[in-house]
Amino acid sequence: MEGLMSAVIIIIVILFALTGIAAILSVVRFGKDKPLITIEKRYRDRLFNSLITEVVAVVIALGWLVVDQVRDNNREMQESNEWKVSIEEWIIASQSWIKEPSGLCNSNLRGTDSRRGPFALAVDDDEPDIFVIGSILDGLGVLKTLTFEKHEPNDLEAICWDENKWYYATTSHRRLGEGQDLTRMLLRFMIDPRRWKDPDYKIEAETRDIAQALYNYLKDSCGIVIDTVLWNKKSKLGPQWHPYALEIEGLAHMNGDLLVGLKWPLDDSGKAILLAYNWETSAFIGHATLALNGKGISALAYDSEKANLVVIANPPQKERTNNRQDYEFYLGESVGYVFNWPHDQAEPSLSHKLAGVSYPNSKLEGIALVDGEEVWLAYDGPEHLLVKETVARVRLSPEND
């Protein structure tokens, strides 16, 4: 564009010069005693009109160049400001780091400039808050912590978004029969995409205790009785490995219903249990069992465009602290599975495994599919990580697609 404008200006200047020369020649004297050379009025008028037109064209062209230069300066200033924002966000992230990431999901939140998004949401099983996760330079970091208006849920394990307006989060429900209300919460809430950055913004959430419905459904439909003593007795490794009778760690939204993934218990054949829950009817409406090689569900994500359910699995045992042998058994064992689950299919069918999602000293606890191009991963364990990968690297679709 700049080269074209330069050529246009050069042509206009040349024409302007030729017109000026012609104007001078029309009034110059050719010799001492020679009369003034003039031309007919109609030619003089045409010459004058041409001169005025060329002057206007030059002014317009120069104005165009000035506007274009101002636009370039503004763009450079904006990019400079964005870099400044990135540095500021990096500083914020270095001071506000998520300690025990336990769940992750994509969101409808973006920055004031569309290039500053997208953002994901994360939960921490030691904090009753929602963390906004975003790109910081070449990585991921916590940009803001959102608190609930009236509730302080304990042991948040999973979060999901319905790709419209509602977010859902759940605690582990691990103390199902002990009356611990803060660990027995299913939450539904919205986040205002225009106000979430305000310093005093808080989340207003609906809460629901699904403990009794969960207990009844597992007992009546799955043949599983949630009883701490019973499950400790069934554990071959002893009660220290299974201190809880129940652990919810996966949550996803699919076709209007919630998918609730259990890390523990497994069913009698060693398969992981996936439950379907309808918020409107307050009822569990179905379940499926997934063969995850003896592992339980730690995270879920549903790709509605491809009808794929991503399942992150980890060993269902609980590691003991400060024990290297336990870490070697329990950590670095995260596996990702992709199940195809169209709306008209009763149960999911295994498609393939993910690649490169296991870290030696961590366990994968959350996954978000961001804009169809990136996969964001949240790891818990001795090393807490927020990782950004490409879809191609972890291969969310089979290689032959």
Q: What is the CATH number of the domain that holds 132?
A: 2.115.10
Residue 11 and residue 144 in one domain? no
Residue 229 and residue 305 in one domain? yes
CA 164 to chain centre: 14
Residue 131 and residue 277 in one domain? yes
- Judged by average pLDDT, the poorest of 122-136, 178-192, 206-220 is 178-192
In a domain, 254, yes or no: yes
The pLDDT of 16-36, averaged and rounded, is 56
Tokens for 267? 């069913």
Mean pLDDT, rounded, of the chain:
79
Calpha distance 23→6 (Å, rounded): 26
In a domain, 87, yes or no: no
Cα atoms in the Cβ-side hemisphere of radius 13 Å centred on 217? 18
In a domain, 400, yes or no: no
In a domain, 378, yes or no: yes
Residue 142 and residue 236 in one domain? yes
Residue 362 and residue 301 in one domain? yes
In a domain, 401, yes or no: no
In a domain, 399, yes or no: no
Helix (H, G, I), strand (E, B) or coil at 290: strand
State residue 365's pLDDT score: 95
User: What does the pLDDT look like over 322-351, one tens digit per residue?
Assistant: 555 556 667 888 999 999 999 888 899 999
- Judged by average pLDDT, the poorest of 40-54, 241-255, 386-400 is 40-54
Residue 65 and residue 207 in one domain? no
CA 55 to chain centre: 54
In a domain, 224, yes or no: yes
The structural domain count of the chain equals 2
Residue 76 and residue 105 in one domain? no
Among candidate residues 81, 114, 141, the one where a domain is terminated = 81
- Judged by average pLDDT, the poorest of 5-14, 69-78, 167-176, 354-363 is 69-78
User: What does the pLDDT look like over 257-296, one tens digit per residue?
Assistant: 999 999 988 888 999 999 999 999 999 999 999 999 999 9
Among candidate residues 81, 106, 124, the one where a domain is terminated = 81
State residue 239's pLDDT score: 47
Residue 325 and residue 245 in one domain? yes
Residue 68 and residue 136 in one domain? no
Residue 383 pLDDT class (50, 70, 90 cuts)? confident
The pLDDT of 129-154, averaged and rounded, is 88
Q: Which domain holds residue 26?
A: 2-81
State residue 31's pLDDT score: 47
Distances (CA, A) of 151 to 111, 187, 265, 343, 357: 27, 10, 28, 34, 33
In a domain, 90, yes or no: no
